[in-house]
Structure 1
Amino acid sequence: MTRTTTNLLLMLITIVAGTFFYITLCSECGGGTTVEPEPPKEVVAPEIPEATSYPFALNDGEYSYNANDNYNFNISSSTILMPLSENVQNGIGGLKSFLDANLGKVLNITGFYKSDETNSSAFPNLGLARANAVKNHLASNGIAAAQMNTMGKLMDDMVPKDDIYLGPVSYSLDDKAENADEELNALYEKIKADPLVLYFNSAQASINLDAEQRQKVADISRYLDKRADASVNVIGHTDNTGKASTNMRLGLDRANFAKAYLMKNGISEAKINASTKGQTQPIESNATKEGQAKNRRTVVTLN
């Protein structure tokens, strides 16, 4: 056998032996089998809740109306989004005719709000502010304010659509309370005995009310709605720093600032009388900084 033939034979034996041992030794580690890749895990998108929507609906037995549209509001806002739908406008017209013919009836307007909304209005909650905005719009369409009551209701299950709450307002009709006049008289005495007092400088660009002050604004607004001849006095006061004539003007500036704030929150300009007492009616001594701060005030009460 030649050397070349011998070398070729040895190479062939090596290849065969290597293949044999590879198959034998690696059979346990899955040699010769195909490993299937794990299927990709299904990605489940979070479920987006459907936006809530409340209708412009009334059913008193004597009067009924139902429209899928309603007054709409942005999140954390009590400003009505315009324009209103034709269905809502038609409902307003029919409601006015019914209330004009039934003076013993009142319309209850309940505004909804969520606990995570920011309330920048002068009312105790954003729901009441929204109800008040609707009431003012209805009044501008000829419905007597004296025939409307406003309320707020927490509705944390509301879901917006593109940052807009669709119709967060409900309505009901009721008979006028037999003791309505007595309740109004009691409300008047309450406001007169404990008026709304604002402490701020005329350079301030905003008024921040606490819960008690917000309730006082709501009470004043309610009384003004119920009594057509009622009005509110907004009187500016100062400490005795500077000239008396300058303080008279400064007091009026503060009164007008508060007047503009009340108007922004839905109280009619015609029902607000702004005036000044300057430094002439201090309630504390002007000898201390604390006393001066108390004297720099604006008092809001009924006429």
Structure 2
Amino acid sequence: MSKKILYLLGIALTIILGMFLYQNYCCNCCMKPPKLDNSTTVVNNKRTGLVPFTIKGSDFDYHCNDNIKFVKNEKAALVPFSDSVAIGFKNLKTALQSNPNKKIKITGYATSDEKNTTTFQNLALARANDLKKYLISTGFDANSFVLEGEIKDKWEMNSDTLIGPASFNIIENEPASNNQWEVLKAKINANPLVLYFNTNESRENLSTEEQTKIAEIATYLKNVPNAKVSIVGHSDSVGAREANIVLGQSRAEFAKAFLIKKGIDSKQIQTSSQGPDNPIADNTSEEGKSKNRRTVVTIK
């Protein structure tokens, strides 16, 4: 083998050896360490318990991941509710209005370590009642509810807030007998709905008690189709009698409009006005006049 060939082989071996040493011993010392991304978050694969909001019935099923919340030891739910929960209640109201033979059973829950400072048997039942009051304020029939309360050892919580400690189930309502409707009519007429008005006013916001009475009237009329409701408007004696007759009639028409919004057929409603002709108090005092400015709603 010639010297020239040996010389070339030596150069080739030197190059190969140099590349080997560079790749294995020098390359890593020239590379920059990887830069940490501050936006990277650590994901905890352990999923916390989820308590979805649900309303269930034989032909009704609504659910969403949002839910009602109660602060620990408190009977009142945190409001306003999310849009998803509100939609569920709206759909529920429509379902119940189209089927008077069904009711909604609300079961409230509380944990064994919570304090009950209410007049109810337990905090769970108080929470169910709070939800009932809320639904009545949105137009639900006051007679459409069955309430229960259950105490649990623990419940899903976020800090000091219980997530979804209530369930909603649509149940069949036992058909009422004619005697039951007579009892309801007697109750309505024994303690009739009376709306009071300030001078020259013909409308006002309704209290929870007034809304409950209207709901009872609506329930009776829906189940006794031939019945009629009588709405009579009254006024104090200030001003001309003719003007007070008109004012009393406008008050009766306000009550009629409200009952129609509750789903009562306008053909079942009769309105009239007695103006200042039937006072229940002395018109010589401001207190007496305020009692005379009223509308009385009864079942005929």
Q: Which residue of 1 aligns with 2:172?
A: 173
Query: 1:249-260 counterparts in 2 under 5 A?
Result: 249-260=246-257
1:203 pairs with one of 201, 204, 213: 201
Q: Which residue of 2 aligns with 1:223?
A: 220
Q: Structure 1 residues 106 and 253 mapped into 2: Cα distance closer, same or farther (>3 Å)?
A: closer
Q: Which residue of 1 aligns with 2:57?
A: 57
Q: Which residue of 1 aligns with 2:133?
A: 125
Query: 1:15-54 counterparts in 2 under 5 A?
Result: 50=50, 52-54=52-54
User: SS at the partner of 1:230?
Assistant: coil
In the alignment, is residue 109 of structure 1 matched against residue 107 of structure 2? no
1:280 pairs with one of 277, 281, 293: 277
Contact 2:52 2:63 in 1 (8 A): no
Contact 1:112 1:127 in 2 (8 A): no
Given residue 172 of structure 2, which amino acid in structure 1 is its aligned partner? L
In the alignment, is residue 187 of structure 1 matched against residue 181 of structure 2? no
Q: Which residue of 2 aligns with 1:150?
A: 144
Given residue 234 of structure 1, which amino acid in structure 2 is its aligned partner? I
Contact 2:137 2:211 in 1 (8 A): no
2:259 pairs with one of 259, 262, 276: 262
Tell me how far apart the structure 2 counterparts of residues 158 and 272 of structure 1 sit (CA, whole Å).
Answer: 49
Tell me how far apart the structure 1 counterparts of residues 240 and 67 of structure 2 sit (CA, whole Å).
Answer: 47
Write out per-residue CA displacement over residues 30-83 of structure 1, whole angstroms, 9 at most, x where no aligned residue. Answer: xxxxxxxxxxxx9x9xx998563224422xxxxxx464469x999669x9849x
Contact 1:131 1:150 in 2 (8 A): no
Q: Structure 1 residues 183 and 66 mapped into 2: Cα distance closer, same or farther (>3 Å)?
A: closer
Tell me how far apart the structure 1 counterparts of residues 235 and 144 of structure 2 sit (CA, whole Å).
Answer: 35
Tell me how far apart the structure 1 counterparts of residues 285 and 243 of structure 2 sit (CA, whole Å).
Answer: 20
- Identity between Structure 1 and Structure 2 (%): 26
Report how far residue 266 of structure 1 moved.
4.1
Superposed CA RMSD in Å reads 4.8
User: SS at the partner of 1:125?
Assistant: helix
Tell me how far apart the structure 1 counterparts of residues 223 and 277 of structure 2 sit (CA, whole Å).
Answer: 33
Report how far residue 182 of structure 1 moved.
1.4
Given residue 57 of structure 2, which amino acid in structure 1 is its aligned partner? A
TM-score (norm 1): 0.52
Tell me how far apart the structure 1 counterparts of residues 264 and 137 of structure 2 sit (CA, whole Å).
Answer: 12
- Size of the aligned set, in residue pairs, is 210
Contact 2:202 2:254 in 1 (8 A): no
Tell me how far apart the structure 1 counterparts of residues 197 and 231 of structure 2 sit (CA, whole Å).
Answer: 14
Report how far residue 296 of structure 1 moved.
0.7
Structure 1, unmatched stretches of 5+, are 1-41, 59-64, 100-104, 136-148, 160-164
User: SS at the partner of 2:103?
Assistant: strand
TM-score (norm 2): 0.53
Q: Structure 1 residues 51 and 276 mapped into 2: Cα distance closer, same or farther (>3 Å)?
A: farther
Tell me how far apart the structure 1 counterparts of residues 48 and 248 of structure 2 sit (CA, whole Å).
Answer: 53
Report how far residue 187 of structure 1 moved.
1.4
